[in-house]
Amino acid sequence: MDPLVRFHDQHPPEAAGSLCEELLAGLTASPKCTSPKFFYDRRGSELFDAICLQPEYYPTRTEEAILRAAAADIAEVVGRDATLIELGSGASRKVRLLLEALHPACYLGVDISRDFLLESTRCLAVDHPWLEVHAAWADFTRPMAWPEGLAGERPVAFFPGSSIGNFTPEEAESFLEGLAALLPPGGGLLVGVDLIKDRAILDAAYNDAAGVTAAFNLNLLRRLRHEFEAEVELDGFRHRAFYNEADSRIEMHLVSLHDQAIRIAGERVDFEAGESLHTENSYKYSIAGFRELAGRAGFEPRAHWTDRDSLFCIHYLER
Ligand code: AVI
C-alpha cells in the first residue's frame, strides 16, 4: 500500500472476451466501425502522447495555455477547497497547472490504466505534499460512485482534452447526465471542448506530416493481431481522416487497400478494396452548442475561457 496515495479499486476493466465480442459486433456492422477505446493499448497511449506534441495538433498546447493563463480566474469561479476529481487522469499533467491556484481539499484521479494511474498520482503526491491524493481504478464511462473518505464537501469534476468529443452528442449528453447525478447542487464540471473552426486547421491536426496520427490509427490492426489473436494484414490498410462539416466531426477511418479478410474469434470479416473501417469520431462544438447540450444534461453554464484564436474552450458548469 502506497502511504502517499489512497487507492480505490472501483471495478475491474472489461474482460478480454466481452471486448472481443464488442469488436466483432462493430466489424460485422454496416458500415464497419470500432470504438476509439480500442486505440489505447500501451503503444497506442504512447502514440497519443506523441500526437499531442505534433505542431499540427493544436488542442493539447492550446488547452494548456488557457489553463496556465486563466488559472487564477478559474479558481475564483470554481472556489477553493473543492474535492477535485479528474476523469481519465492519465499522466495528471494538466491538473498540475491548476493545483496551486485551486488549492482543492483533495484530488482523486480516475483512470482505467492501473499502473499508469498509480505512477502518476504518486508523482503528484510527491510534488504536492500538502495535497490529499486518491486514485480510483475505474472505467469512468461506465456507471460509478465516488469512493468513500474523500476530503471536501463540494465535488468538482475535471475532464480536459476534449475527450468528450469522442462520444456522439447523444452519448455525451447521457454521460453528462450520469455525471450530474453524482454531483450535489453546487458541484461543478470543468471540461475542455474543441471548437468548430476552419476545416484546413482540423484536417491538418489529424493528418500530421510526421505520420504519427496515421501510426496511431494503424496501431489498431497490431492490437487486433497481438491482443485479440486476429489474422490481419498490417500493411493492408491506409489512414484516412477528414472533417465532416455536416456533423461537425473529424472522422478517422482505416481504408482497405485491396480485397481482403480479417479473421477474428472464429469469424471472417471481408473487406472490399476501398472499403473503410470507421475507427473514431472527434466532435467539435460551438460554445453555445456545448452549453445547450450540457444544459439538457442538467448543468448550468457558469463561465468559459478560450484562446485568442478561438481554437479551444474550457467550460465551467454547475449542477
Ligand atoms: C483523445 N481525443 C480527444 C483525441 C481527439 O482529438 O479526438 C484522440 C485523437 N485522435 C486522433 N488524434 C487525436
* Span from the CA of 319 to the centroid of ligand 1 (angstroms): 27
Residue 213, ligand 1, Cβ within 6 A: yes
Query: Residue 282 Cα, ligand 1 centroid: separation in angstroms?
Result: 7
pLDDT at 9: 87
Does any ligand 1 atom lie closer than 6 A to the CB of residue 276?
A: no
What does the pLDDT read at residue 58?
98
pTM metric for this prediction: 0.96
Q: State the pLDDT at residue 17.
A: 77
Q: Which of 151, 152, 102, 94 is nearest to 124 (CA)?
A: 94
Stated as kind and residue range, the H or E segment containing 270 is: strand 267-271
pLDDT of residue 141: 85
In this prediction, the residues of the chain whose per-residue pLDDT falls under 50 are none
d(CA 49, CA 94): 13
Regarding the beta carbon of 206 and ligand 1, being less than 6 Å apart is answered yes
State which ligand 1 atom lies nearest to the alpha carbon of 162: 3
Q: Residue 29 phi/psi, 5° resolution?
A: -75, 170
Residue 119: strand, helix, or coil: helix
90 lines ligand 1 (CB under 6 A): no
The whole-number pLDDT of residue 260 equals: 98
**Neighbour tally for 115: CB within 10 Å:** 10
CB-based contact 85:111 (threshold 8 Å): no
Is the ipTM value over 0.90, yes or no? yes
3-state secondary structure of 269: strand
Cα–ligand 1 centroid distance for 151 (angstroms):
33
Sign of CA dihedral 103, 125, 13, 153: negative
Tell me the CA distances in angstroms from 113 to 62, 83, 169, 239, one per residue in order: 25, 22, 25, 26
